[in-house]
Amino acid sequence: MTQPPISNLALMMAAKQEWQRVQTLFTKCFIALIRWMDINLLILAIINQLGVLVGGIAIATILENKDKVYMAPFSKVTIKNIALFLLLILASCRWFKDAATPFLMGDYMRLPQGTPTFQQGYKDGCGTSLYTRGNVFYRTIHKINYNPKLIDNPEYRFGYSRGYTTCFQIVVGGASGPQASFDAYLNYGTTFDMSGGGNINNLWGGFFSNGIMQGDVTNSNVNLDSVVNIWQNAERGGGTVFGSNPIWAGGSAGQFFGQ
Amino acid sequence: MCNKIFLISLFLLTSCYKNWYKPAGYLFTNMPKGGTPGFELGWIHGCQSGLGSQFGSAFYMTMYTWSRDPDITSSVPDIEKIKARYKKELGKVNWNDPSEVKKNFRDYNTIFWPAHAYCRHSTLGMLQTAGLTPDLSSGGRWDPAQHSIGAVWKLTGKGDVRIGATGLW
């Protein structure tokens, strides 16, 4: 039994269908890419790619027309060196591969390298902490994630722990504005300039004078000293537990324990 | 009329979940699905303990408390005691299979602290978003004399993300 001949029209129709299928696939891939990539870095990556393209065209144009334009200052060796130099610079650009690390769109978090299980744990931990300590925006786009099936996997647990901790620090600092909780104890705003000028009260930009080693939890100047101040003056200026600050004597000589 | 009230009550009650009547009780609906009974029990106990910690307010601490089971945590757990205590929660555990029992206890202890962290941070995050900024651990984060319950829907608290506000925008 012989097969009927395939007409040109049928071939064209098949080719057209195949092309449409490729187009659809490309569109889907592109949409998926947009959804999963950090849009900011995508734009940066496109700019970089365009930069590479324009730079390449410019170099090629110069090399092709070097006989027609005034090229006296540039010998062949110089042009080659410039081309090599540009190549080395461009090779360090951020390429799609780096920019397309899929993680959480709209965030600054990057997924670290590691095994897929570790990365899954990292993503889950990060999303969870963003939900817990983020604002309304974060709570809208994230939720708690923990895969019970991977609870015995040490890589997953390690990734979860690292992701939770890392993103916790980011979201508490970034989305919270001025520190207003007990986290303020960790918000060391003092500049450590080490220029005390012989007086400990001026050391590290007033670290011990008006920096985090001073203040009271009952007023707006919440700082590290507040921790021990609780022992000294009870909670809100109540009775004294110790005769003085148990750690910090506060003198200009910088005595500790009253010495 | 009684029938209608009964029906309405029935419909309302069927939507209940554990701790639905307590503050932030909705957090218990966020428990990851697919875990062992030990996992689920550990998650609930961890969340209850987290909500009962100082991260919430006195209100939360009244409603919740430390819930970790010392017998499951023990290196030599008293199986019979645990079995009797959690007839319903650990009812699906095959107590005749030592490896399964061990796995459930391990899951309990493993998930306890992640659930603790999740619930206590969620509570504190929500309170801060509502503008209730804690100063001291023992200080009142929710003061009925100063704050309204409706403050939980405030957008102007910590982490305000509205355009033009002090958030990320």
In a domain, A146, yes or no: yes
A191/A259 same-domain check = yes
Distance, CA of B149 to CA of B169 (rounded, Å):
27
A214/A162 same-domain check = no
A187/A173 same-domain check = no
Range of the domain at A145: 116-177
Distance, CA of B42 to CA of B106 (rounded, Å):
9
Place of tokens 């106990």: B45
DSSP B130: T
In a domain, A84, yes or no: yes
Considering only CA atoms, give the Rg of chain A. Answer: 31
A201/A249 same-domain check = yes
Give the gap in angstroms from C-alpha A176 to the nearest C-alpha of chain B.
4
A144/A193 same-domain check = no
Record: contact A129-B30, CB cut-off 8 A: no
A73/A147 same-domain check = no
- Name the interface residues of B facing A (CB cutoff 8 Å): 30, 32-36, 39, 103, 106-107, 110-111, 114, 117-118, 121-122, 124-125, 128-129, 133-138, 155, 158-161, 166-168
- Contact criterion met (CB below 8 Å) for A67 and A14: no
Give the gap in angstroms from C-alpha A222 to the nearest C-alpha of chain B.
9
Is residue B3 helix, strand or coil? Answer: helix
User: Cβ neighbours of residue A253 under 8 Å, at least 6 residues apart?
Assistant: A200
In a domain, A211, yes or no: yes
H or E stretch including A173? helix A154-174
- Name the interface residues of A facing B (CB cutoff 8 Å): 128-129, 131-139, 143-149, 151-152, 157, 160, 164, 168, 174-178, 180-182, 217-218, 222, 230, 235
Distance, CA of B135 to CA of A121 (rounded, Å):
33
Record: contact B159-A222, CB cut-off 8 A: no
A24/A95 same-domain check = yes
In a domain, A8, yes or no: no
Among A133, A136, A128, A212, smallest CA distance to A169 is for A133
pLDDT digits (tens, 9 = 90+) for B52-106: 887 777 778 888 999 999 999 998 899 999 999 999 999 999 999 999 999 999 9
A121/A95 same-domain check = no
- In this prediction, residue B24 carries a pLDDT of 83
Among A247, A256, A253, A206, smallest CA distance to A226 is for A247
- In this prediction, residue A16 carries a pLDDT of 77
Place of tokens 């500049």: A191
pLDDT digits (tens, 9 = 90+) for B17-30: 777 788 888 889 88
Residues of B in contact with A128 (CB under 8 A): 114, 118
Best of B31, B54, B121 to disrupt the A interface (most A CBs within 10 Å) is: B121
- In this prediction, residue B119 carries a pLDDT of 93
| Burial degree of B128 (CB within 10 A; 0-12, 13-18, 19+) | buried
A171/A212 same-domain check = no
Distance, CA of A178 to CA of A172 (rounded, Å):
10
User: pTM for this structure?
Assistant: 0.55
- Can you tell me the mean pLDDT for B120-130? 82
- Domain residue spans in chain B? 2-153
Q: Does residue B169 surpass a pLDDT of 50?
A: no
- Contact criterion met (CB below 8 Å) for B156 and A173: no
Count the domains in chain A: 3
- In this prediction, residue B47 carries a pLDDT of 94
- In this prediction, residue B126 carries a pLDDT of 80
In a domain, A4, yes or no: no
Record: contact B121-A235, CB cut-off 8 A: no
User: Cβ neighbours of residue A199 under 8 Å, at least 6 residues apart?
Assistant: A252
Q: What percent of chain B has pLDDT over 90?
A: 42
In a domain, A234, yes or no: yes
B32: left (phi over 0), alpha (psi -120 to 50) or beta: beta
Token pair for B25: 């009780």
Q: Does residue B111 surpass a pLDDT of 80?
A: yes
A152/A185 same-domain check = no
pLDDT along chain A (259 residues), means of 10: 65 76 71 58 65 73 65 63 73 50 55 87 89 78 87 94 86 51 37 53 56 47 51 48 50 45
- Contact criterion met (CB below 8 Å) for B158 and B128: yes
Domain closes at, from A177, A194, A218: A177
A19/A94 same-domain check = yes
Nearest to B136 among A145, A146, A217 (CB): A217
Is residue A248 helix, strand or coil? Answer: strand
Token pair for B9: 């009550």
Distance, CA of A97 to CA of B7 (rounded, Å):
59
CA closest to B116 among chain A residues = A132
Domain closes at, from A177, A194, A211: A177
Among A197, A132, A122, smallest CA distance to A161 is for A122
Among B22, B129, B80, B79, smallest CA distance to A176 is for B129
Place of tokens 């129709």: A13
State the count of interchain CB pairs (< 8 A) between A and B: 95
Identify which has the larger pLDDT, B162 or A14: A14
A163/A122 same-domain check = yes
